Amino acid sequence: MGIDYTKRSQAPGTGSGGVSLSKVTLTKAAPSVSLTKQGAAGGLLRVNLNWNSQDQAGGGLFGRRKPGIDLDLGCLYEFSDGSKGVIQALGNSFIATAPGAREASIWLDGDDRSGSNSAGENLFVNLAHAASIRRVLIFAYIYEGVANWAAADGVVTLFPSTGPQIEVRLDEARAGAPTCAIALLAPSAGDFTVRREVRYIDGSQAKLDAAYGWGMRWSAGRK
């Protein structure tokens, strides 16, 4: 695709008052950040998901260990012409191209089934096509294992082309909900922002779609 998406290293640093210049953590109190204001509204945005995949202890004296958790990273997208879809390993939907673009606009680099890959799973958004992007909803879902987000201890980190990393921790966990809306990327009044969601959904991607009004038809898929 003619794009270098190797991991970008960034040396840690601090500003006055001990504020980190290498990472911004989105919270309930400070839920959004402007990519435009930090000069990162163009170039390649890498979205990384990492989690704890270890087996969990079962109940009782002779309780068997429960299988580890397999989280999958994905996104719902909508382009400026109204076309929309999903990027995820389920159904092998790994790539999407904006109208008029000659190269991929959004893609997933693979599927880490075990969670043991130190690089986790990575989703890429080519912000050179930002004018053609209406919105992108980044999400994760538990494909295998008990729907226990606290045990998974997931964290999503966005790596813009310039400026600090943006971290969203999947905290405030609620057991039993298999899907989590993580962050929403969208232009607004000439600005391109990342907004923290961390909203747990009782159901699959179809329920996520309904919660955010995407309006797509869904059918069962496999990987």
Quick: pLDDT tens for 191-216: 899 999 999 999 989 999 999 999 99
More confident position, 66 or 36:
36
Beta strand 133-144 pairing with 179-188: antiparallel
Answer yes or no: is pLDDT of 8 > 70: no
- The yes/no answer on whether domain 34-212 falls in CATH 2.60.60.30 is yes
pTM assigned to the model: 0.82
Q: Where does the pLDDT of residue 55 fall: very low under 50, low under 70, confident under 90, or very high at 90 and above?
A: low
Decide if 182 contacts 168 (C-beta within 8 A).
yes
Among 79, 97, 95, 78, which residue's Cα sits nearest to residue 87?
95
Among 204, 200, 198, 199, which residue's Cα sits nearest to residue 219?
204
Mean pLDDT, residues 162-168: 94
Quick: pLDDT tens for 73-112: 999 999 999 999 999 988 888 999 999 999 999 999 865 5
Answer yes or no: is pLDDT of 39 > 90: no
Q: Report how far apart the first and last C-alpha atoms of the chain are (Å, whole number).
A: 24
Answer yes or no: is pLDDT of 1 > 50: no
More confident position, 68 or 211:
211
Tell me the C-alpha distance between 166 and 69, whole Å: 24
Answer yes or no: is pLDDT of 220 > 80: no
| Residue 194: CB atoms within 10 Å | 24
Question: For residues 195, 201, 207 and 212, what is the CA-based torsion angle, rounded to 10 degrees?
Answer: -20
Decide if 3 contacts 101 (C-beta within 8 A).
no
Domain residues of the chain, as ranges?
Answer: 34-212
Quick: pLDDT tens for 138-161: 999 988 767 788 888 899 999 999
